[in-house]
Structure 1
Amino acid sequence: MTVSRQATVQRTTSETDIAITLNLDGSGVARSATGIGFFDHMLTALAKHALFDLDVSVRGDLHIDGHHTVEDTGIALGQALRQALGDKRGVRRFGHALVPLDEALCEAVVDLSGRPFLTFNATFTRDRIGELDTELVEEFFRAFAMSAMLTLHLNQKAGHNCHHIAEAGFKALARALRMAVEADPRAAGAIPSTKGVL
């Protein structure tokens, strides 16, 4: 692909101020400053294993809790992905990955369908991982999938350590996205849909 697949998104509300720059054809370089250490760790892992270059800066109302910061980051990152993909001409469209992290195993399946949907099946036995509320893991994936206009199935296959489960989930999404956004050399620049549009 010769087109530059990059996007910058600025999203400002009364609750958060977010700036994201995304390059789909990067090398996995990430800088994330959300104010939530474990969430930064997850976004860094996402960029590294998707081979995206990602810069995320967030000022959120963390004096309330982390919900707005995490959800709004998902929204902004989804917008950036959608913009960077353009009309999705020549991409593989579908991606899937099974990623282990010690005893944990998570599966992600992605379709750049233009039809947003999330199926999320993971169980966390703790309320928090570091400063991240575990219920916000699903909220991030939902916000990202809806905003990116993609279908995402994320399923925990094994595991009990909450850190491992969350990280395996983010890495599985990363690898599935890496596959889905790749140029398909056999597609000859066509849009991968019988409808002619995604």
Structure 2
Amino acid sequence: MRQGSIARNTTETSIAVKLDLDGSGKYAVKTGIGFLDHMLEQLSRHSLMDLEVEAKGDLHIDAHHTTEDVGIAIGQAVAQALGDRKGITRYGSAYVPMDEALTRVALDLSNRPYLIWKVKFTGDRLGSMDSELFKEWFQAFAQAAGATLHVECLYGDNDHHIVESCFKALARALRAAVEIDPRKADAVPSTKGTLGGSL
């Protein structure tokens, strides 16, 4: 079973994450940030990854620490569930439209973390979240999951639609990348025989 379970506790946040890469898209998410909950539910549903998140953070300050640490914990749980990454397809990509917005995500589960973020917002906030925090979540996730992640909103006007298309595109790309390749289920998808470091 490709499952991950992470407990992350700091002076700023307390976070528990459980996930199953081979699930059916079931979720139970409670971060204290309504819009982030909504996005993580989309991530679970469209990746078919079962996801449980329970987070308590210093929201009396702002949502930054909780958002970032949730990204770290989910990324760590994905990395744990992948193990040595043997047999995975490794690459995934998706275009996801949401009304007027269109986002493209390309993902490599290379164990070499990197984020390219080409997303612009029209406003400073969505719900209780600062718009800049979405990049922080994707950065934290990519770093902890060991993912090279390119996220680009090609166009869009409504910030809600833009963000939701980003999370849904990540979900679809992740779903493809974690799939076991039946032609090479016994091998790490790299000429080196391991993922991480140089090509």
Judge same fold: TM > 0.5, yes or no.
Answer: yes
User: Any unmatched runs of 5+ in structure 1?
Assistant: none
Q: Report Cα offsets for 1:16-71 as digits up to 9, x if no partner.
A: 00000010000001111000000000000000000000000000000000000000
Q: Which residue matches 1:115?
A: 112
SS in 2 for 1:81: helix
Which aligned segments of 4 or more residues in structure 1 are displaced greater than 4 angstroms? Answer: none
Q: Tell me by how many angstroms 1:188 deviates.
A: 3.4
Please show how residues 86-105 of structure 1 align to structure 2 within 5 Å.
Answer: 86-105=83-102
Residue 178 (1) aligns with residue 175 (2):
yes
Please show how residues 26-45 of structure 1 align to structure 2 within 5 Å.
Answer: 26-45=23-42
TM-score w.r.t. the length of structure 1 is 0.98
Q: Report Cα offsets for 1:97-152 as digits up to 9, x if no partner.
A: 00000000001100011110000001111111111111000000000000111100
Q: Which residue matches 2:152?
A: 155
Q: Which residue matches 1:59?
A: 56
Distance 2:165 2:185 in 1: 33
SS in 2 for 1:191: coil
SS in 1 for 2:122: coil
Residue 80 (1) aligns with residue 77 (2):
yes
Q: Report Cα offsets for 1:2-29 as digits up to 9, x if no partner.
A: xx10011000000000000010000001
Q: Which residue matches 1:195?
A: 192
TM-score w.r.t. the length of structure 2 is 0.97
Paired residue total: 195
SS in 2 for 1:110: strand
Q: Percent identity?
A: 58
Distance 1:134 1:23 in 2: 29
Distance 2:185 2:162 in 1: 38
Q: Tell me by how many angstroms 1:158 deviates.
A: 1.1
Residue 141 (1) aligns with residue 138 (2):
yes
Distance 2:35 2:54 in 1: 15
SS in 2 for 1:119: strand
User: Any unmatched runs of 5+ in structure 2?
Assistant: none
